[in-house]
A and B are shown apart, each in its own frame.
Chain A
């Protein structure tokens, strides 16, 4: 019997057609029904997407998230009021046709401000989170995996944990604000400054968590097995270690977005943020806290947007995590 024939035979048995297999088993050894042998692996990402699709919460969250993104990106094209335009006569107005979501204390249109603010907040939140989480995961992976790097990297982490944030940020502004805005233009320059400031000061938790998990994982036998087939370190980390520590990373990422959005608003109070007339969700929220009783919608709206974004990201993260976990996949 040739190899191919044998393969056919095995495939037949594996097909889901129970009746045929039953008959085959009852009578003789497998019939030689030629059937295509499913050889290739389907793309892993397609698989993950398929699985992700079946996660109701994640899909709802994804749709909502896309909605939010459209709101902040496409919205300003439709609702063209300048978010910084001061219309002093219309100040503190409630919901109306001219200002569907009202105006603020200077008569700036809240809808336009929420849209403009969302662009910044989401961009900052996502980018800073990505920076923090990748940096954190990288350092965590390296120090967990390479015993020699562990001590220096963890001491570095301790150093960063210990640094007082405020002076550090102030120093960063002093040193980098001008060069950055000269090289990248004021808006992009400040954006880079903000995301790197947030990123550079919030990777430590992820690093510690990842390292802790890697330490345990490293002693698992499949890592030993991978070593025995000559897997080089980088591939070992990327293919064997990283997927197995993904779920805490996912959580860190979700939480990271929330912190980044809030931190951004805190930064503007150090003069580190975008120009003061430029809205962001965090700042809209902060500015309105004092007037919470008089104008509750001004706190609620940005608050809802922040929470909604974070919730969406959380559910998407959950869905992704489930989709990546082969043991859950398929159910």
Chain B
């Protein structure tokens, strides 16, 4: 029964800064706002679509998707009400599209609205989205917690440049979700109460909810697993033995959901050496002296024990992987040969390629020594990985210098800084990345030749490895023309294999889940890596142990 289970306490150590996901692309904001705002459809933990505000998922079969793939029509459920009691109409959906697509608004979710020509309200409960070109994957806008529906009445004056001035609206959006905001303190605490207008009168079970921010992952996990002050902690990425120690208290446990996040090493195919003038470092003007040798790249990959890395760094919330695209099922290549470490094989490979051990134990050929700079962001697990991998590489005769960079610099794409991910002034670098929703195509599209970062594009390119293979570009073009899901997946696997096992331009290490801790007294939790973790917060209940 609604409101019968008292208070729900959630801790998110990275605190949400706004309730409007269109103004911040961060996961934390999306999770928080998903308690209040809802899209037309969401994703299940299995990666399938399910209806939220929509009456049904539009498909080709039910005519929701036009035959030419140039439009999609959504029908809203009947009788939906905003938490202020007013009805939800197609106008709200249209308005939301207008809101995000306003060129002055700086909408963070603009990518979701890519390719949309117009959005129109067919009637009170029907919306049609028209695309400029045929859209093989039309479940982008208004699907998933990244692009929920805003109330037109509330946000009417917040279009474009006015978006940031609407603090009240951004902090207290009127939604259709199970909870509504009672108080929002940015980067600190959000308190919610059950939405009296929620469509299921029996839900949510909790009368109030609090999302507390601050602290760090360990502290958040401790608050759930050890002191029991909180019911749920998001993103408790900790060393497995620490988690195990905390779980011993018997108050709760940590579980993980697997989406598409892969921790991997990128190999720089261009030369980052500082001997080149600024502007030419790490550009195709200078190919890398030894990483362009496929044997070296393969040896790098072979020397790594992914099993051990996973065990040490992630425990149950990770799986060793050789894939760049590990999910969805259909897209995941059965590429497993890298999973066993093969130091001897790596040595032999290098030997064969002419890299012989020099006097100081470092392999060399033609005066080129295998010395590398290996950079990543500051993060305890990554630093452990660095140490381990450095050791393995040294065993095969490659010397590595480690370097760490503050995350906000590394991931910030400031063209002025030499330490960004895109500039890649190192030989190899490690980070994790994923894609949202169920469509890996844009994710794979990053590796075409033209996307290599360079001064020409202010270092904003996405092809971090500077991988360039005309065959890949061609196959990519084919993918974008293909509509049939099975066929698409097949092409995707081929692309994945080209990036990983064939070229080793990307060396995947661990398929990471997102770990969250929850109390044993909290029922109904079902982690979801494809959507907000709070996707089913309406179903959460208090259970006795």
Contact = CB atoms under 8 A, between A and B. Distances in A.
Interface of A: 84-86, 88, 91-92, 105-106, 108, 170, 173-174, 178, 182, 186, 268-273, 275-277, 287, 289-291, 293-294
Contact of A290 (B218, B383, B391, B406): B218
Interface residues of B, number: 31
Given A268-B404, A287-B380, A291-B242, A276 B386 contact: yes
Contacts of A173: 419
B405 A271 contact: yes
A129 to B, nearest CB: 25
B384 A178 contact: no
B320 to A, nearest CB: 15
Question: What secondary structure prevails in chain A residues at the interface with B?
Answer: loop
Nearest to A175: B418
Contacts of B403: 271, 275-276
Contacts of B419: 173-174, 271
A35 B410 CA distance: 79
30 contacts: A84-B387, A84-B390, A86-B388, A88-B312, A88-B388, A92-B241, A105-B312, A170-B406, A178-B418, A182-B274, A186-B401, A269-B406, A270-B406, A271-B410, A271-B419, A275-B401, A275-B404, A276-B404, A277-B390, A277-B402, A290-B218, A290-B238, A290-B239, A290-B242, A291-B241, A291-B242, A291-B245, A294-B241, A294-B242, A294-B245
Given A186-B401, A269-B378, A269-B406, A293 B245 contact: yes
B166 interface: no
Contacts of A271: 377-378, 403-406, 409-410, 419
Contacts, number: 80
A276 B218 CA distance: 21
Contacts of A287: 380
A287 B378 CA distance: 12
A275 B218 CA distance: 24
B378 A270 contact: yes
B241 A85 contact: no
B111 interface: no
Contacts of A272: 406
B417 interface: yes
Given A86-B387, A174-B416, A290-B238, 15 more contacts: A86-B391, A88-B388, A106-B387, A108-B387, A170-B409, A173-B419, A174-B417, A268-B404, A271-B377, A271-B406, A275-B402, A276-B404, A277-B383, A291-B241, A294-B241
Nearest to B376: A276
A273 B245 CA distance: 30
Contacts of B404: 268, 271, 273, 275-276
A321 B35 CA distance: 63
Contacts of A106: 312, 384, 387-388
B308 interface: yes
Contacts of A289: 218
Contact of A276 (B238, B402, B409, B410): B402
Given A271-B378, A271-B409, A276-B386, A88 B308 contact: yes
A82 to B, nearest CB: 10
A272 B410 CA distance: 13
Interface in B398-427: 401-406, 409-410, 416-419
Contact of A105 (B239, B416, B418): B239
Contacts of A291: 239, 241-242, 245
